[in-house]
Amino acid sequence: MKNKRYIVVDLETTGNQANKADKIIQFSACIVEDGEIIDQFSTFLNPEKRIPPFIKELTGISEKDVKDAPLFEDVSSIIHSLIDGGIFVAHNVSFDWTFLQKEMHEAGEVPLKMKLLDTVELARIMYPTVDSFKLQDLADEFGLGHDSPHRADSDARVTAELMLLFLEKLETLPLATIRKLTTLSQHLTGYLAELLFEIEMRKERELAMLDTKWTEYRGLVIRKKNLQEVQYSRADTRRYPETDEEKTTLFKATDETLIPRAGQFIMMDTVMASWEKQENTLIEAGTGIGKTLGYSLPAIYFAKEHQIPIVISTYTNLLQSQIFHKDIPLLAELTDFDIQAVVLKGREHYINLFKFEQLLSEVDKTYDVVLTKMQILVWLTETTTGDIDEVNLSGGGQLFWNRMKHTGWFLSPQKDPWLVHDFYLFNQKQAKAADLIIVNHALLLQDHFGGGKWLPDYEYAVIDEAHHFTDAARAQQSFVFSYRRMKFFINRLGTLGKEAMLQRLELMFPEQHQLFDIEIAIIKLEEALENLFLLLAQKLLRASKNTTELILVENVIDEKLDAALFFAGEKVLLLMREVSSTLEFVLEYGKREAENFSEGESVFLEEVYSFVLDWKRAESQLSRMLYEKEEAMMLYIEADRNKALSSVRLRADIVQVNHTLQKDFFDTKKSVVLTSATLTVDDSFAYIRAELGLDAATKTKQIKSPFDYGENARILIPSDMLPVKGTPVEEYTSKLAAYLSAIAKETSGRMLVLFTAHDMLQKTYRKMNQDASIAEYRILAQGVSSGSPARLTKQFLAFDKAILLGTMSFWEGVDIPGDDLSCLVIVRLPFAPLEDPYTKAQIALRKKMGLNAFQTYSLPEAVLRFKQGFGRLIRRETDRGIVFVFDNRMDTTNFGKAFLNSIPEVPIVKGRELELLEEVKKFFE
């Protein structure tokens, strides 16, 4: 970095289109030399045009700020001389560089010729495991002060600090990794390739010893892994703390921040009793109980005492990671046990190092491929798991991952030179020595239903987030056959005249004339696929122009596909079988010739084997759709709003899994504890027990939340709101938008509004966005504002006055504690829409069984979702907030009582708008 002059620039503009009329309204540049920021120049600029409201909201820059500022042409020569001759750096450099070039040209300046460095690209490569590469998120990640996000002066300084951080880390990477990065960077534009080459040359001269945390093998540097040993001691006299006094003493002796909670202690004892008596138990643990410690503390005592593993299963990879990185260290500190814990995932989550090594030597100039290779090179110096979920891959990177994921070995594992470093085998060995094996529901159920054997033998388990367990079981046995995925497969296979898998197979096996048969089958298959998916798209179009889902078969036991679809599907299936059987024949031939292969050819054959596994999985799924009569399986079509052929999917959903879960899972275990904050409906476990296939003898325990809802929360039900039923949606959303705006002004935003329908959300958003009285509020809407629910939540937290409108994915899993969320609005009770194919099939099945579909399915599902939504408001003991429920059915119908009886006791206030707004004011005073 010595003798280098970096000019780190950030611009604020009236819009994002440099080639149109958008202009720069603020310029800032930090000068970096010798690893330090030595100067900064910033100025507002008068764009001679109106600043759009969104830009004002985003940047805080108004017409007043730029009114007396210079025009760009007034300062263009200063900016030109300031940055000329340096290395131009920016976060998403092409945006700032393009804008600056355009303004310089218009000002009549000599074109700048500079080397460019992008800190987004650098961040992706140097910190591949970071969740987000947005400037604000990176500043938060590395603890950098960022006082005024979206202001050029603050953004430029943070970008400069980040660049120094990234360059510093670059210097610490081992020489072998730098060599590989340098080679790959030749395919990137910008200064990075030159920078890497300089570092490589310097490291070559220094010849430093490799740090002991790494090992170098075959030119790749990876982090050393230490296999844990089974730690059991007969002399260990530590026993489970049975009394509340013993538990309290344990808590206070080790962690003064832990508050002894009666409910948590009850949960611990319930879990321990379940395992000792070998019973299945359902535990509803209200918000604030501390359920993770409630089950993990008895789990480690039981595991150590009986010298057996206990499996902890949760719903998402994120929760798995949270338990391992946050809760297990706390547990170790509390109990003083040497805890052997492992996070285990399905094999395809792990990298195959032999495949990756060979892919590195392939020349592919595609940006996403180059970037992904560079990310993985850096990640391998850090990871001890080899789990790709740790890496924040681009969309193209995720597709490229298919070529290096682990799928086992087709040839002898001994032909894999990386066997001793294999991550999948390492994690399997870790699991065999573990006290606690942390998995997600998908892997746990795959171990039982998928035909593979992923987990070591175990007899005791905890199912956390148990309200999702049946969903996960249905997902394991449900599947999708999509146009896009089949086209992806066909493109990967290619033809003999196209540089892809088939052509390479012909080069390896010129004597295998069957490859010509594959090419003919592929050409026919493309035509058959077009025919099948056109038929499906036409069915959707005929149903209704707004329909994006259409049931074909409500229950395959009673009905079957119509003849045209069946024969079109059968034609596709027969051609798929022809391709896979021929590929399998060629693979078996290759196995017999394996001794003559180079390493590159061996890896390629493993890649073909991996491809065939994926192909046969799709083939098997189509076969099940056409022929197999599974209990309560439904078939339907899905597509986007435009009915584009590439979006059409044929979906098969299993509607009921209770018998399968009972027979294949619960009956094979000694004791399973299932826990969640939402398991009861109207104080009864009957619904969840029936869904899971558990018998009436299953033990249950309901532990109420310790929070004071009577003091800290209110439910407000408007009596003057229009009824949803019978009111035109435009009229309803106009009234709703006005009501929400009035509430927002009393709560200063900090409001989450939960909808059950996207259409109503979008219409409400548009009307609120046009309301000048809340122009200062940032309104975010799922499906309208760009970004995932997690990203929208982060944006919501970033603004002082914000309103967030969300649908189903916001009803649970969103954690916004403290003052950031003071008001929750539930627009409608969350009954699943009756036109939803899955809901239709569930109702039809229950009617067929002679049950009341509303009482046995629709109502319990809505109540559980309502409980999840209600749970977004009070996340900590000190949280306070109000819940508006705009659906008066909660108050005016018999079934409405089920919703109120299923949540903690909260004061309920009914009234007209002005009365409720006064109540809000009083509550927050």
CA 197, 202, 207, 212 dihedral sign is negative
Closest among 818, 819, 824 to 804, alpha carbons compared: 824
User: What pairs with residue 113 in β-bridges?
Assistant: none
H or E element at residue 620: helix 599-626
Length of the chain: 925
Give the pLDDT band of residue 231 (cuts 50, 70, 90). Answer: low
H or E element at residue 449: helix 441-449
Q: Which of 157-161, 407-411, 598-602, 921-925 is modeled with the greatest confidence?
A: 157-161
What would the two tokens of residue 254 be? Answer: 């080790």
CA dihedral 320, 259, 678, 825 (to 10 degrees): -100
- Find tokens 């090179």 and name the residue: 377
Collect all residues with Cβ–Cβ distance below 8 Å to 478 and sequence separation of at least 6.
651, 652, 653, 654
Collect all residues with Cβ–Cβ distance below 8 Å to 436 and sequence separation of at least 6.
296, 299, 300, 303, 309, 310, 311, 312, 328, 339, 340, 341, 342
Closest among 562, 146, 98, 469 to 280, alpha carbons compared: 469
Separation of alpha carbons 308 and 303, rounded Å: 5
Give the pLDDT band of residue 500 (cuts 50, 70, 90). Answer: confident
Q: How buried is 845 (Cβ within 10 angstroms: 0-12 exposed, 13-18 middle, 19+ buried)?
A: buried
As a three-state string, the secondary structure of 127-182 is: CCCCCCCCHHHHHHHCCCCCCCCCCHHHHHHHHHHHHHHHHHHHHHCCHHHHHHHH
More confident residue, 879 or 461: 461
Instruction: For the chain, give the mean pLDDT.
Output: 90
User: What pairs with residue 715 in β-bridges?
Assistant: 883, 908
> Is residue 805 a contact partner of residue 592, using CB atoms and an 8 Å limit?
no
What would the two tokens of residue 719 be? Answer: 């009596």
H or E element at residue 121: helix 119-126
CA dihedral 740, 743, 744, 746 (to 10 degrees): 170
pLDDT at 1: 47
Separation of alpha carbons 511 and 518, rounded Å: 14
- At 278 the three-state DSSP class reads coil
Residues that constitute the known binding site for ATP: 285-292
**Other Cβ atoms closer than 10 A to 43:** 18
Collect all residues with Cβ–Cβ distance below 8 Å to 183 and sequence separation of at least 6.
none
**Other Cβ atoms closer than 10 A to 853:** 17
pLDDT at 462: 98
pLDDT at 232: 59
The pLDDT of 343-353, averaged and rounded, is 91
CA atoms within 13 A on the CB side of 352: 24
pLDDT in tens, 759-816: 899 999 999 988 888 888 889 998 888 777 877 887 888 788 889 999 888 887 677 7
The pLDDT of 319-336, averaged and rounded, is 90
Give the pLDDT band of residue 422 (cuts 50, 70, 90). Answer: very high
pLDDT at 283: 98
What would the two tokens of residue 169 be? Answer: 């880390």
Separation of alpha carbons 805 and 795, rounded Å: 12
Closest among 880, 755, 736, 848 to 810, alpha carbons compared: 755
User: Phi and psi (nearest 5°) for 853?
Assistant: -65, -35
Separation of alpha carbons 286 and 704, rounded Å: 5
User: What pairs with residue 480 in β-bridges?
Assistant: 651
Q: What share of the chain is helix, strand, coil (3-state, %, to 5)?
A: 50, 15, 35
Query: What DSSP assignment string belongs to 745-812?
Result: HHHTS-EEEE-S-HHHHHHHHHHHHT-GGGTTSEEEEBTTBSS-HHHHHHHHHH-SSEEEEE-GGGSS
**Other Cβ atoms closer than 10 A to 595:** 6
CA atoms within 13 A on the CB side of 529: 24
pLDDT in tens, 563-585: 999 999 999 999 999 999 999 99
- At 598 the three-state DSSP class reads coil
Closest among 520, 466, 464 to 496, alpha carbons compared: 520
- Find tokens 């297990």 and name the residue: 328
pLDDT in tens, 233-260: 554 567 899 999 999 888 887 766 778 8
Give the global pTM. 0.84
Closest among 811, 813, 846 to 691, alpha carbons compared: 846
The pLDDT of 172-193, averaged and rounded, is 95
> What is the phi-psi region of residue 98: left when phi exceeds 0, alpha when psi lies from -120 to 50, beta otherwise?
alpha
Alpha helices in 207-327 (DSSP H): 244-254, 262-277, 291-306, 317-322
pLDDT at 256: 64
pLDDT in tens, 691-728: 999 988 899 999 999 999 999 999 999 999 888 888 89
Check pLDDT > 70 for residue 839.
yes
pLDDT at 685: 96
Residue ranges of domains in the chain, CATH in brackets: 5-172 (3.30.420.10), 480-654 (no CATH), 709-924 (3.40.50.300)
Q: What percent of the chain has pLDDT over 90?
A: 62
Q: How buried is 824 (Cβ within 10 angstroms: 0-12 exposed, 13-18 middle, 19+ buried)?
A: buried
pLDDT in tens, 651-698: 998 888 898 899 989 999 999 999 999 999 999 999 999 999 998 889
Residues that constitute the known binding site: 285-292
